[in-house]
Amino acid sequence: MLLWLLLLLSLLLLPLALLRQQWSQDTRWSWIARLQHRVVWGVLGWATTWQWRRLEQSTVHMNQSQQQALRWCLQGAQGPRCPLGGSTEMSTFRNHLPLTKASQAQEEESGGQHPAPTSNQYQGFLSLQATLLGLVTLNKAYPEVLAPGSTACVTLTSPWPSCLPWLGHALGRVNPPGVKDPMVLLLKALRCPGLRVLEAGTAVELLDVFLGLEADGEGLAVAIATGNPGAPLPRRAAELRQALQQGPRGLALRLWPKLQVVVTLDAGGQAEAVAALGALWCQGLAFFSPAYVASGGVVGLNLWPEQPRGLYLLTPGPPFTELLPVKEGAQKEATSTLLLAEAQEGKEYELVLTDRVSLTRCRLGDVVRVVGTYNQCPVIRFTCRLGQALSVRGEDIGEDIFSRALSQAVGQWPGAKLLDYGCVESSILDSFEGSAPHYEVFVELRGLRNLSEENRDKLDHCLQEASPRYKSLRFRGSVGPARVHLVGPGAFRALRAALSACPSSLFPPEMPRVLRYRHLAQFLQRRVVS
């Protein structure tokens, strides 16, 4: 019913939008546009109230909701390939469907991939719910940020899980419809100094936008000065040149003084980009991710935009979600999954989703920590990805441990800001050279052009402090010191472009921190400058 109502709304709004384009030739909002905006918010208010009621009901009656989600999955797999005969008894479900691991699709060259564990059949309802609740909670946390003409998306992909172009147009986004060139989106945003919200598909995509803005600032200024026929904007072009001359720190607020919040979609490998943006270009701005996305699908809702780090509510489904306890040590495997109502605050779990099409219980590799509850549902925070651990002698340095150690080391390099990094186990590059196995670390920095040997050694010291197991192996000589390489500007941007070009790539792109394939490691190796 909700989808039909929104479709009807889109049909009503289209004539209004066309009428507005005919009546208004400048960038000011006419009364038609404001009427359109009020109509949309009125309908969204009703739809959001309905979604809140459904969310409350499902999270209060957790076990019943998960049973319904499991039944929905099984109904989609009836026939010879469904060994359960429609039974939703958990022990039967677990016995007949063993756990499988998600493949690292973004690092594969071709073929042989398992289907994404959260395929499109899940996304209609949950994506729409995440978008509607996200819009309303964002507007509550930051009043007036969604006023007409206050929002611009600077990437071809949107951070809102449910992409409804007519909805964005009706809410007053300045993006022109049907754009295929990201430069057009950036120019449109730069021509609008009154923006309050800046959107990008992911944080790494936004980082690429600002790096590109710096690299081609003069060309963008010329394009802005030229403007549309009959509407030159030389003053705005001068403001862009002046803002760029003052460096990256605080650039976003110099370009858009009313800017309050940056909206990006959370996914694996985004933490470094968020930290770099917050320390430099987007200094002083809040970040908001409307949903938690794993392996290409929505698995959690963000109802707390004011929180500095993303908090997500794991809903009881669909999709059918289980939690696999994470044990101490890499060799220890949990024997059984838990339902959402069985989660314990302070514990860490790996997410497990059941695919309705293939009837596969897939371990996503994403580890989350339960930090609270909403009714009977766990509220989680992303911790790390299991597939991104380093281990040349069984030491198992997780993504979160390595990231903290690297951040600590970079903090001791005078003037340096970390933009991106990638790691390779020495066996991938055959770089033993008579030494013990070790890590090859590629970093892209701002503010430092050369790395001294003293600076390189600091990473290994920080790793030893972070991991007693690694320290013990280093003391015995079983593991050699980590080798740090500085790559040139744009190296990781080029790597992301190469990964996105793969047919098996997912959105949002999960940036790999540990490269398992030689051709990707050599891609960075060819771009080493120090």
Average pLDDT for 74-79:
63
**Within-domain flag for 82:** no
Residues 178 and 296 in one domain: yes
Q: Which helix (H) or strand (E) holds 428?
A: helix 426-429
Residue 137 reports pLDDT greater than 70: yes
346 and 403 co-located in one domain: no
> 443 and 316 share a domain?
no
Per the model's pLDDT, the better-predicted residue between 188 and 331 turns out to be 188
The CA dihedral of 330, 332, 335, 339, to the nearest 10 degrees, is -50
pTM (predicted TM-score):
0.87
Question: Which residues constitute the domain of residue 489?
Answer: 399-526
**Within this chain, do residues 322 and 404 fall inside the same structural domain, yes or no?**
no
Q: What is the mean pLDDT of the chain?
A: 83
Same domain, 471 and 363: no
Domain identity same for 440 and 410: yes
Instruction: Kindly indicate the confidence band of residue 87, based on its pLDDT and cuts at 50, 70 and 90.
Output: low
pLDDT digits (tens, 9 = 90+) for 209-242: 999 999 999 999 999 988 665 555 788 999 999 9
Average pLDDT over residues 484-496: 93
**Does 382 lie in the same domain as 404?**
no
pLDDT for 76 beyond 90: no
Domain shared by 194 and 245, yes or no: yes
The answer to whether position 347 is within a domain reads: yes
521 lies in some domain: yes
Determine the Cα–Cα distance for residues 92 and 100; give it in Å rounded to an integer: 17
- Say whether both 379 and 403 belong to one domain: no
Q: What is the DSSP letter of 10?
A: H
Under 8 Å between Cβ of 446 and 415: no
User: For residues 38 and 265, which has the higher predicted lDDT (pLDDT)?
Assistant: 265
- The Cα–Cα gap between 58 and 490 comes to 46
What per-residue confidence (pLDDT) applies to 25? 40
pLDDT for 108-132, tens place per residue?
A: 433 333 444 444 434 567 888 888 8
Nearest to 162 by CA among 116, 207, 120, 118: 120
Q: What is the pLDDT of residues 288-304, one digit of tens each?
A: 999 988 765 788 999 99
Q: What is the pLDDT of residues 346-379, one digit of tens each?
A: 999 999 988 777 778 889 889 999 999 999 999 9
Quote the pLDDT of residue 117: 44
The residue among 349, 364, 386 that closes a domain is 386
Average pLDDT over residues 441-458: 94
Residue 284 DSSP class: T
Residue 489 pLDDT exceeds 90:
yes
In a 13 Å sphere around the CA of 503, the CA atoms on its Cβ side amount to 6
Closest residue by Cα to residue 418 from 247, 273, 254, 264: 273
